[in-house]
Copies of this chain bind each other. A is one copy, B any other.
Amino acid sequence: MLHPSITLGPAQRDTRVPKTVQEQCGHFLLCLLAGSQPGCHSGPGCSEGDKHLTPSSLLRIGQLSNVDLNEDIHELETELPRQRPNEIPHNEKLLSLKYESLDYDSSENQLFLEEERRINHAAFRTVEIKRWVICAMIGILTGLVACFIDIVVENLAGLKYRVVKDNIDKFTAKGGLSFSLLLWATLNASVVMVGSVIVAFIEPVAAGSGIPQIKCYLNGVKIPHVVRLKTLVIKVCGVILSVVGGLAVGKEGPMIHSGSVIAAGISQGRSTSLKRDFKIFEYFRRDTEKRDFVSAGAAAGVSAAFGAPVGGVLFSLEEGASFWNQFLTWRIFFASMISTFTLNSVLSVYHGNAWDLSSPGLINFGRFDSEKMGYTIQEIPIFIFMGVVGGILGALFNALNYWLTMFRIRYIHRPCLQVLEAMLVAAVTATVGFVMIYCSRDCQPIQGSSVAYPLQLFCADGEYNSMATAFFNTPEKSVVNLFHDPPGSYNPMTLGMFTLMYFFLACWTYGLTVSAGVFIPSLLIGAAWGRLFGISLSYLTKGSIWADPGKYALMGAAAQLGGIVRMTLSLTVIMMEATGNVTYGFPIMLVLMTAKIVGDYFVEGLYDMHIQLQSVPFLHWEAPVTSHSLTAREVMSTPVTCLRRIERVGTVVDILSDTSSNHNGFPVVESNPGTTQVAGLRGLILRSQLIVLLKHKVFVERTNLNLVQRRLKLKDFRDAYPRFPPIQSIHVSQDERECMIDLSEFMNPSPYTVPQEASLPRVFKLFRALGLRHLVVVDNRNEVVGMVTRKDLARYRLGKEGLEELSLAQT
C-alpha cells in the first residue's frame, strides 16, 4: 500500500514558472543544499531532523528536476532580499499570501453523503423553512440596527447642533465667535476620538465602510474578523460617533457590513465570541451556506440604508454571485424587503405617524414628482455631459485618495497616529465649515424652508445663512435639501465653495480609522455641483421651465457617486428606488454608465483600488481576455504536497506544522496499477479536516490496519467550524506518530480537476463558477501534477499594456 519512493514529475519546467514555485521550493532547496535528499521534508523535518521521518515519507509531486536546480538556487538568492518584509510593502503589483480562501464547494466525503442520504424529503423541507426563518430574522435585525443608528445619530447630532447653534447665536450678538468655533471643533474632535479609538485599538477591520471587505468575502476571500460580533458592535458605535462627530461621512455604507455580520451570526446559531451555542442551524455551518446568508445580510443592509430592496439584491448579486440560484435570490429579496419594512415601521412609529410607512431607508431622496421634475429627450446629452464631469471628478477623488492611502500605509500605521489624524480631520472639518459659514453672505428667508437648524448669524431677522444648511447639518439632510429646495435657495458662489471644500474634506476623510461610508459624501458633492450646473443652465437658457436645479442635483449626485465607486446596475437601481420614481431610471443609467467609462479611463473605482492596495487576491468576473496563451501547467503551483490514502500520523503532523508552506488542501494519491509513481489522484482532504482527525485521534496501529477507526461524525467537523484550532495546539505523542490514519472516508473522493493543457480562461471559469478553493491539475493518467488556487489565478491581470503578472508577498 505504501510506496516509499520519492516521486518527482517529468521535467516540464517552463520559463513562465510562477514566483510562488520558488517561494514554495525555498525551504526545500535549502534542505537540498544542506545535503538532504531531494524530496526532503521541509519545515521541522529539515531543521530538527526528525529521525522517524524517512526522507521519502513525504510526497511532493511536482516538476522539479535536477537540471533546474542551479537556476532555482540562483533565483532563490536573488529573490531572498525581496521577500523580506519591506517597510513599504504596498504597491499595486503585489498579491498578498496572507489571505485565505473560502470554500464554496462542499467536501463531498462519505460522512457528508451518508448524512445527505439519511435526510429525507420532509427533512429537506424543514431545512428550507429554516433558511426562510433565518432570512426573516436577518431582515428584522438589520432593520432594527439601522433604526438604532438612525435614532441615536439623530438625537446626538441634534443635541450637538443645538448646543453649537445656541452658542453661535449667543456670540453672534456680542462678538467672540472664535469661542463657538472652538466649542464646535472640540466637540467634533472628542466625539471622533472615541469613535477612532475603539476602531483603532479594538477592531481595525471595522474601519471604513466595510464594503470592500464584504466584496472580498462574497468573492471568496477570508478577511479575518470581518463577520464577528465584536466587529458589528464596534462598527455600529463607530459609525454613530463618526456621523455625530461631523465628519464628511455617511452611515449608509456601514449598514452593508452590519447586515452581513448579523447574517453570519444568526445563520450559525451561535456566537463564538460570546461562547454561546444555541444548537440550532447546525446544518448551515459551512462556507457555502454561510456565504448565502451573508449575501442576504448585505442585501438587507443596502435595503435598510437606501430603502432599495431590489437594489440590495442586485448589489449582492453583482458582488458575490456567480452562483446564482432562483430560490436563493428570492430569499435574499425576502430579507431585503423585511429589512426595509422593519425600518419603515419602526421609524414611522418613532416619528409619531405610525402605519404610514414613509421612511423606507436611512436616506430618502424625497419625492421626485414626475410632473414637476420630469425630463425631456433633449436633456439626454446634458445628462451625458454631467456623467463625463462626474467621471473626471470621481477619478480625481480616487487618485487623490490613492496617494493619501499610500501615505497612510507608509507613515500612519500606528493606532495612536491614526486616532490623532481622525481628530485632526474632525477639527479641520468643523473649522472649514465654520469659516465658510462665517464668510458667506448668502441669506435666504427662513419662511417656507425646511432647514433643521437655521443659523441666522449675520443675516437679517427672518433669514438664515444658506451655507449653513449645507455644512451645519447631517450630510443626509443636506443632500435632500439640495435635491428639493426650490430654485433660488442657494446662490452659485455658495454651491461652488461648498463643492470644492467638501470634495477635499471627503477625500481626506475616506480611509481614516473610523467607521464611515463614502456614499453620502459623494452624493453630497455631486448634488452640490449638479445644482450649480442646473442653476448655470437656467441662466444660460433664461430660466427655461425644464431646468429645475433639483433634477440636476440628482443627476450630479449620481454622476459623482458613479465616478467614485463605479458600481453599475445595482447603483442605478438603488438610485431609482431611493427617488421612488421609475422614470428616472434611464437618465440615471446613462449618467452612471458615462461616469464609469470616463472614470475607468483614468483610474480604478475606489473600492477596487482599496482592495488592490491591500493586495487581496480578488477574482474578477473573467480571466483577462488576452490570457488564452497561458495554460494550467503554467499557472499552477507545484510541487504539491500529497498524502497517501492511509498515511502515517507523524507525516501528517509534520506537513501541517510546516511553516514554510501553509497549504490548506492536500490531494490524496495512490499508485496507479502498472506504474511506480504514487500520484494517481483519489481524493482531496483539507487542512481543517486533518486537524479535526488529529484532534479526535482517529488513528489505527500500523500492525492492525483493518481495525475500525473511532467513528467521527459530521457534527465534530461542524462544531470546529469556522475556527479550527492550529496544529500547534494539538499534542501527538511519539507513539501516536507511528500510528496510521485512514483518510478514505474523510477525503472528498471526487475533487474537480483540469488537465494540464486547459487554458487559463477555462481554468478560471471552472474555478470561479463553482467557487472553488483548490483545483487539482492532472495529467493524462489522472496523476497529480499541480494545484491551482485563488492566488494563482488572481495574479494575472489586464494592465494598460496587456497581461501583467503580480508578484506574491507574505504581507
Contact = CB atoms under 8 A, between A and B. Distances in A.
A377 B360 contact: no
Contacts of A356: 374, 376
Interface stretch (A334-342, A418-426, A653-661): A334-342
B757 A749 contact: yes
Q: Assembly of this chain: how many copies?
A: 2
A78 interface: no
Contact of A355 (B357, B376, B582, B782): B376
Contacts of A326: 318, 568-569, 621
A325 interface: yes
Contacts of A378: 355
A376 B356 CA distance: 6
A626 B119 CA distance: 7
A576 B310 contact: yes
A125 to B, nearest CB: 9
A15 interface: no
Contacts of A580: 581-583
Interface in A108-166: 108, 113, 116-117, 119-121, 124
A93 B754 CA distance: 36
Contacts of A781: 672-673, 680, 781-782
Interface in A294-338: 307, 309-310, 313-314, 317-318, 321-327, 329-330, 333-334, 337
A634 B669 CA distance: 24
Given A356-B374, A802-B121, A327 B582 contact: no
A317 B316 CA distance: 14
Interface string A594-614: 000000000000000000000
Interface in A647-685: 672-675, 680-682
A375 interface: yes
Interface in A385-408: none
Given A322-B769, A334-B589, 17 more contacts: A108-B758, A117-B629, A119-B626, A121-B798, A310-B314, A322-B325, A325-B621, A327-B622, A355-B378, A356-B376, A357-B583, A580-B581, A749-B755, A749-B757, A780-B782, A781-B781, A781-B782
Interface of A: 108, 113, 116-117, 119-121, 124, 307, 309-310, 313-314, 317-318, 321-327, 329-330, 333-334, 337, 340-341, 345, 355-357, 360, 374-378, 568-569, 572-573, 576-577, 580-583, 585-586, 589, 593, 621-622, 625-626, 628-629, 632, 672-675, 680-682, 749-750, 752-755, 757-759, 762, 765-766, 769-770, 778, 780-782, 798, 802
20 contacts: A116-B628, A119-B626, A120-B626, A310-B314, A310-B573, A313-B569, A321-B324, A329-B568, A329-B569, A334-B593, A337-B585, A360-B582, A360-B583, A580-B583, A632-B750, A672-B781, A680-B781, A750-B754, A765-B770, A781-B782
